[in-house]
Amino acid sequence: MTDQINSEKVRNIRDGKAGFNQFLDLSTNQLAALAALGFRFYEQGSLRDARTVFEGLVVLDPNIYYGHAGLGAMALREDKLDDAVRHLATAAQLQPSDPAVRANLGEALLRQAKFTEAAAEFQQALDLDPERRNPGANRARAILQSMSLVVAEMKRVSAA
């Protein structure tokens, strides 16, 4: 019976339906602690260590929000925009209430000149932070304000 269960687990991992955490059975708190370590490495500039942690999280569980959010932030920082959009969109789907992920996704889309999609993500970030406390949402506010000023200036110049 155990061999049957293990075979099913291996098939699920092979088919992308599950991660290696099926064998390790790490708790949500343990995965969150690993994610916190990854973000600490990221903030300290230890990008190789951060990438190792975030990639490891995604191997453990392909549907883990923290891993995709971290890999997306790293890809954005490294100007790997397709990777950033892919990971950040996955993170936003897995955890729709994170304004920082929405702001990062908006920034990645903006850099790809996908202005309408970027503005929608920035607006999502603002809507998720009505108290104006989240640094990611506040960055989105600043970017939207800058975009508005650029559009106004372009209209002024073209009218002249």
Q: And the tokens for 67?
A: 């891993």
Dihedral sign computed on CA atoms, order 92, 98, 102, 104 = negative
Sign of the alpha-carbon torsion through 92, 67, 49, 12: negative
Residue 63 has a pLDDT of 87
Residue with tokens 């110049």: 157
Measured CA to CA, the distance from residue 67 to residue 140 in angstroms comes to: 22
139 — alpha (psi -120 to 50), left (phi > 0) or beta?
alpha
Instruction: Check whether 4 has a pLDDT greater than 70.
Output: no
How many distinct structural domains can be found in the chain? 1
Q: Each residue of 74-98: pLDDT tens digit?
A: 999 999 999 999 999 999 999 999 9
Contact 68, 87 (CB under 8 A): yes
CATH number, domain containing residue 33: 1.25.40.10
pLDDT at 23 over 80: no
Please give the residue range of the domain that contains residue 108: 2-159
